[in-house]
Structure 1
C-alpha cells in the first residue's frame, strides 16, 4: 500500500511540475488550447478505427465534441477498448500454468441431461463456459436474510481455507461480522484469502483490514485505485462475488456485503436479491476463478500457481466432493480479456431454446441489439416474456436508460414489471421454468463486455423451481407497466430517457 501511495504521489508531483513549468514560461494556455483540439481528434480516430458498435461510436463522438477535455479524461478511464487492457501484474505465463494444471480436474460435459439441455450446455461450453456437472447441489438463497447467515455458517465451519471475493465490501455492522468470522478462522490456522475490487470497495481502509492481516489472513485489492495505473484499469472492474470454503462449498450471486444488502439502509429499505449456495464438483469452477483472479491481483506475489496446484496442495484446494442431486450445474465466466463475451452468448443461447417462457430479473437493462431483438421476437412468437426491473433506481442514468428500452419491448408484447418494494438487485433468468441462471451479471453492455462476471446455469434442478416460485412472488408485489401507461409518461421523463439512452453504450 505504501509503495502505491508513493507512486501516486510521484505522478502528481511530476504532473504538477510540468504544469508549473509551462505556466512559468508562458506556454500553458497555448499547450492547453492545442491539446484541447488535437487530443480529442486523436481519440475520435482511435475509436473510429476500433470498429465499435455504431451506437457506442456516436455516443463517444458526441461526448468528445461537446466536452473535449473532460471527454478525453473519461475515455482514458472508462472508454478504452478491453483489448488494450493491461493484462496482468503477474506474468501471463503464471496464470496459464495454473489453468493447465487444474484443467484435468475441472467439470466435464456429461450425458445425464435431456437432449435439448445437453445441446445447450455443450453450446455454452463451446462459447467458453465451464463443463456441466451432475454432482453438485444448489440452493437458492433469497435476500440477505437467507444469504449472510449461510455464508457465516460456512466460514465458521472451515477447516482448511476460506476464499472470499466481492465487488463491494463495506465497513459496517454486517461487514465487520464477516471479517471477524474470518479473523477467528485465521487464528485457528485456517488459510484466509480476502479479495475486493479496488474501485467498488474504495471505502475499505487499512484500519478495517489490519486485524485480518494481523491474524494471518491475506488481503488483495483487485486493481486498486491508489495505483497510478488505475487510469488504465478503471473501466474494467471485477464484479464477481465468490466465497469458497474448503473447496467443497461455494456461494455466488447478486449480493455484495454491507448493511444495505441486508435491508438495513434507510435509503433503500427492503433489498430484493438472490444468491446461490453450491456444494459439490462445480465448486471447483468457483475455486479456479477465484485463484486466477488472486494470481492477477496480488502485488507481493506470496502465492504462485504451484501454491494451489502442486501435487500436495491440489487435493486440498480441489478436493473430490461429489454430491448426488437432481439436475446439473454449469458455471460461466467472462471478462474484458475474454476472447468472446461468454456470458452474453450463453444467455442468448438459452433464450433461443425457449419454447414456453423467458423470465428475466435485472436491476439494469441496457441490452445490445441482438439481445433486444431476440426478446422482441420471442414475444411476437407467442412466448411468455417477462422482465422484472426496479421500481426505484440506485443510479439516475441507469434507471432512465433502462426505461428507455421499455417502448419497443412493450410494443411487441413483452411484459414489463417494476418492483414495488424498494430496490430489486437480483440477476436471474428462467427459461421454460426448467433452466435457471443466477449470478453477478446484469442484463447490460457493461456486464457483457467490460466487467469480470460469473453466472451459474441450473438445469432441471429443484433450485430452478425455487426461482420460479420467487418470480411469482415478485410479480405479485410489482406493477405491470402497460403501453398506455408508458406513453403517458411526462415530457421530463422522456428527456431523461433520451439523454440516458444516448450515453447507454458508455455505461
Structure 2
C-alpha cells in the first residue's frame, strides 16, 4: 500500500449525497465505466442504472462490471445483468454458483470435497463497492445499487451508509486493481472448463495478477495523465488497499487494521451493520482500552437489523452479534445500537485525530478472513474531523448498550474454537492466546458458527 499525495476527496455521508454524484458522473462518462458491487437490487434505482449503462455503451463508452454472483441470485437480478451483454457490456460474476462442483477422486473423499465447495459458496464473496468513470473519477465506500441505498437521508426506512468521491493520483491505483480483477475473472471463465479448482488457478495466476505493468500495456487507454488539482483544492494523502483472501491468499486489510489499532493512542470509532469481530480484534480492543483508548462501536438494533438481507437472515445476524457483546462490554468497549427504521450499513473507521478508513470492510469474520474488500485510507486531520462529526451525529440516533442490564445470550462467541484462517494473520500480530491455540492445534476449517457469516 502506498499513500498518494495529490488527491481531492469529498465525503458523501448518505445515499442521497452519493447518488447525486453517481448519476452526474455516469451521465458525463465519455470513455469508460468500471463498476464493482456486492449487490444490485431489483428495483427502480438499478433499472435506471442499467438503462443508463446501455445508453452509454451504445454511445461508445466501454462498460465493465464485476459483481458477486451468488448474492445477486438472491436479488433475482441475473437475467437483467445478462441482458447487458447485448449492448457490449462485459460482466463477470465472482464465485459463480455453477463453478467448481467437479470432484477429483485423487484428492480425498468426494463428500468432503463437496462440502468444502458448499462452504466456499457461502463464505467466498466479492463484497467491494466502487466505480471509476473516465479513468479520473472514483466513488468508493459501502453503498451498493438499489433504492434502500439511494434514498438514504431522504426516506426514514432507507439505509444509513457512506461513500467518498475522489479525484487524483490514487484513482489509478484502484484502476490497476480493477483491471487485474477483471482480467483474472475473464481468464477464470475460460480455464474453469478445464476442471481446475479456483484455489489452484489463483495460485498459478499470481505472477500475472500482480504485474501492474502488464495491465498498463493491455489497457493503455485506461491510464490518462493525472489531471492537476485546481489551485483552491487542498491536496490530501490517500492510499487504496484491496483485500483478497482467496485471490491472493493474504489478509492485507486484516493485518493493516490490526497494526493501526495496536498503535492507537486516543480513540477508535467504528461502525458497521453487525459487530462480529474475530477474537484477535476483540483482544486488540481490550488492550487499547487498557492503555486509555476510548472505543465506540455502532451497529444495528434487533429491529433495524431485520431490514438487512433476508430479514436479517431471519434474525440470525442480530442474535449472532450479541454473542460478542459480553466480552467487549466487560472490557470497556462501548456499543451503540442504531434506532432508526432502516439499517446502519456505514463502515467508517476513525483512529485518533488523523486516520480514517472508509470502504466495504466490516467488523466481522467474513471481511477479516473470506471476503474480497476495498478500502481507502486517509491521513488528514481536517477530513478526520469531518468524519468524526458525522459519527457524533450518528450516535444521536443510537442507544448505548448498558452492560449491567443487557440480556446476554448464553453463548460467548469468544469461547469458540478458532477458524483455521487465523494462521494467515501475520505472525508478529498474533496475541499470546491465539498464538498458543494455533500452536496446540485448537482450530478448525470452517467451524459451524461461521457457516453463514454473510456480510
With normalisation by structure 2, the TM-score equals: 0.74
Q: Deviations over 1:395-440 (max 9, x none)?
A: 3223222222221222222211111113111111101132111000
- Structure-2 change in CA distance of 1:398 and 1:496 (3 Å): farther
Is the 1:332–1:455 Cα contact (8 Å) retained in structure 2? Answer: yes
Match of 1:329?
238
Does residue 201 in structure 1 map to residue 201 in structure 2?
A: no
How many matched pairs? Answer: 370
Equivalent residue in structure 2 for 1:179, among 40, 50, 63: 50
Q: Tell me, in whole angstroms, the C-alpha distance in 2 between the residues paired with 1:162 and 1:448.
A: 29
Equivalent residue in structure 2 for 1:155, among 10, 20, 26: 26
Does residue 410 in structure 1 map to residue 329 in structure 2?
A: yes
Q: Deviations over 1:216-263 (max 9, x none)?
A: 222222222234549635131111112011111111111111122234
Match of 2:141?
253
Match of 2:198?
none
When structure 1 is superposed on structure 2, of 387-396 and 431-440 the one drifting more is: 387-396
Is the 2:39–2:72 Cα contact (8 Å) retained in structure 1? Answer: yes
Which secondary structure does the structure 1 equivalent of 2:321 belong to? helix
Equivalent residue in structure 2 for 1:424, among 337, 344, 367: 344
Does residue 469 in structure 1 map to residue 400 in structure 2?
A: no
Match of 1:219?
91
- Structure-2 change in CA distance of 1:225 and 1:139 (3 Å): same
Which secondary structure does the structure 1 equivalent of 2:393 belong to? helix
Match of 2:288?
378
CA RMSD of aligned residues (A): 2.9
Deviation for aligned residue 1:204: 4.8
Match of 2:267?
357
Does residue 309 in structure 1 map to residue 216 in structure 2?
A: yes
Which structure 2 segments of 5+ residues have no match? 103-113, 191-208, 418-447
Q: Tell me, in whole angstroms, the C-alpha distance in 2 between the residues paired with 1:163 and 1:134.
A: 23
Match of 2:252?
342
- Structure-2 change in CA distance of 1:307 and 1:193 (3 Å): farther
Deviation for aligned residue 1:322: 4.6
Q: Tell me, in whole angstroms, the C-alpha distance in 2 between the residues paired with 1:379 and 1:315.
A: 49
Does residue 141 in structure 1 map to residue 61 in structure 2?
A: no
Greater C-alpha Rg: 1
- Structure-2 change in CA distance of 1:380 and 1:153 (3 Å): same
Q: Tell me, in whole angstroms, the C-alpha distance in 2 between the residues paired with 1:444 and 1:498.
A: 12
- Structure-2 change in CA distance of 1:332 and 1:499 (3 Å): closer
Q: Tell me, in whole angstroms, the C-alpha distance in 1 between the residues paired with 2:273 and 2:135.
A: 31
Does residue 456 in structure 1 map to residue 376 in structure 2?
A: yes
Which secondary structure does the structure 2 equivalent of 1:186 belong to? helix
Which secondary structure does the structure 1 equivalent of 2:409 belong to? helix
Q: Tell me, in whole angstroms, the C-alpha distance in 2 between the residues paired with 1:210 and 1:356.
A: 49
List aligned pairs for 1:67-106, cutoff 5 A: none
- Structure-2 change in CA distance of 1:318 and 1:462 (3 Å): farther
Match of 2:175?
287
- Structure-2 change in CA distance of 1:403 and 1:441 (3 Å): same
Q: Tell me, in whole angstroms, the C-alpha distance in 1 between the residues paired with 2:223 and 2:252.
A: 25
Deviation for aligned residue 1:325: 2.8
Q: Tell me, in whole angstroms, the C-alpha distance in 1 between the residues paired with 2:260 and 2:237.
A: 15
Q: Tell me, in whole angstroms, the C-alpha distance in 1 between the residues paired with 2:285 and 2:414.
A: 24
Is the 2:69–2:95 Cα contact (8 Å) retained in structure 1? Answer: yes
Q: Tell me, in whole angstroms, the C-alpha distance in 2 between the residues paired with 1:140 and 1:501.
A: 38
Which secondary structure does the structure 1 equivalent of 2:405 belong to? helix
Runs ≥4 in structure 1, deviation > 4 angstroms?
204-207, 304-308, 495-503
Which structure 1 segments of 5+ residues have no match? 1-129
Is the 2:251–2:368 Cα contact (8 Å) retained in structure 1? Answer: yes
When structure 1 is superposed on structure 2, of 329-338 and 161-170 the one drifting more is: 329-338
Does residue 388 in structure 1 map to residue 298 in structure 2?
A: yes
Match of 2:409?
494
